[in-house]
Amino acid sequence: MKLSSVLSDITGASGRAIINALIGGERAPQALADLTIRRARSKIPALVEALDGTFTEHHAFMCRHYLNEIDHLTAMADQLDQRITALLTRLEHNKDIENLDTIPGVGPAAAEIIIAETGGDRECKSNGPVSLSVVTERAAIRGGCGAEAG
């Protein structure tokens, strides 16, 4: 079986449906391919071919183990995201995130990383207070703290 040769994300909705059906005992390639949704439905003929192969009880056991691990890690990442958001809110960095989010290519997650990496400290020893809103200008993090822009 070569599910990943047809589906780019085997942990997406269609891939998960197929893998869960395999774990549950379904082995008929057409029945498995029919579980796909949205764009993956256009790949049913290729899926039927890719799903024609051996899938043992051990494969099912290992797939269940891997899916459980993926679910656990996804849940942990979600918990950490919530914790980061709560901490940034409590530390009053919401305006900083909004300002950084105005930079093309910088979204909320990247803004959180920038604040984490810079410490979110607007005080530079050499130049005094620096608002993170100046990051929208070129080299502002380094320049605002007295370092050379590069």
pLDDT tens readout for residues 57-108: 999 999 999 999 999 999 999 999 898 888 877 766 777 888 888 889 998 8
Indicate the pLDDT class of residue 43, thresholds 50, 70 and 90: very high
Question: Could you tell me where the beta strands, DSSP code E, fall in the chain?
Answer: 123-124, 128-129
Is the model's pLDDT at 148 over the cut of 90?
no
Which residue's structure tokens are 């590069």? Answer: 150
Cα 107 from Cα 132, distance rounded (Å): 15
Mean pLDDT, range 43-50, rounded to an integer: 95
Structure confidence at residue 139 (pLDDT): 45
Residues sharing a CB contact under 8 Å with residue 53, sequence separation 6 or more, in sequence order? 1, 2
* Rg from Cα positions in the chain: 24
Contact 141, 113 (CB under 8 A): no
Is the model's pLDDT at 117 over the cut of 90?
no
Structure confidence at residue 62 (pLDDT): 97
